[in-house]
Amino acid sequence: MKKVIIALLALLPLACMAQNTWEAPTVDSTQIKAEQAQKAKAEAQKKLENAKYLAGAVPEIDGKVVFTLDRDVPGKTADEIYSAVYAALQALTQEQCEFPSSKISVVNKGEHTIAARYKEWLVFQSTFLSLDRTVFNYTIIATATDGHIHCTLERISYQYEMDRGDTEGMSVKADEWITDKYALNKKKTKLLKGSGKFRRKTIDRKDNIFGKICKALQITY
């Protein structure tokens, strides 16, 4: 009997080991560090992307919002620059988002100056169930000289949800809506929910337009 008890006691640790199959998973420190680095990189990229919309991104001249493209165009005459910019601005009037009223309004060939007025849809969000957009009005004035282009995007205004029956809509100038004063928080670190989306999309559209003009002139934006 004594031998049986001794044998059972000897087997007891093995039985306990067999029953205790649950254990904490091994943490891969390398994987954690990689995930943390990826998250930090994404956050840094987001901050960098948002920075282009923050303080100073919407310039003002005498209280009016005026975006300016001022670039050297090496090797091209005023006539050549004028022709290229005219073609780019004319092509802009034919884009899908434009209203029929978008057009080159007046030119001065002697001074190589073009003034064009645009009315278009500026889309904030478009899904199968909803469409959030505003009418976007602006003027582009371009002046060419030998080896140089000066272009402004100004006289900006919006008509938002004016055709809806359940709201009065909003008609507002950029000077009173997308400047630092109206579109950023007090610390100038975040876009406000309402006016902020107008500011963001206006800056994006300005970059898109100026980029097309620069492409037509074969220069970098």
Res 185: pLDDT? 96
Confidence check: pLDDT of 140 > 90: yes
Res 45: pLDDT? 55
- How far is the C-alpha of 180 from the C-alpha of 53, rounded, in Å? 10
- Is the residue at 148 inside a domain? yes
Confidence check: pLDDT of 68 > 70: yes
Find the mean pLDDT for residues 143-170: 91
How many CB atoms are located within 10 Å of the residue 64 CB?
14
Q: pLDDT higher for 161 or 17?
A: 161
How many structural domains are present in the chain?
Answer: 1
Res 13: pLDDT? 57
Domain around 178: 64-216
The phi and psi torsions of 60 (rounded to 5 degrees) equal -125, 140
Tell me the pLDDT tens digit for each residue of 3-60: 555 555 555 555 555 556 777 777 677 777 777 766 766 565 556 557 899 999 999 9
CATH value at residue 71? 3.30.530.80
Confidence check: pLDDT of 166 > 90: no
- Is the residue at 104 inside a domain? yes
Confidence check: pLDDT of 2 > 80: no
The phi and psi torsions of 159 (rounded to 5 degrees) equal -125, 110
Tell me the pLDDT tens digit for each residue of 74-129: 999 999 999 999 999 999 999 999 999 999 999 999 999 999 999 999 999 999 98
Q: H helices then E strands: how many in the chain? A: 5, 7
- Is the residue at 70 inside a domain? yes
- Is the residue at 24 inside a domain? no
- Is the residue at 163 inside a domain? yes
- Is the residue at 18 inside a domain? no
- Is the residue at 132 inside a domain? yes
| CB distance 155 to 139 below 8 Å | yes
- Is the residue at 177 inside a domain? yes
CA nearest 220: which of 57, 69, 67, 83? Answer: 69
How many CB atoms are located within 10 Å of the residue 180 CB?
15
pTM of this structure:
0.78
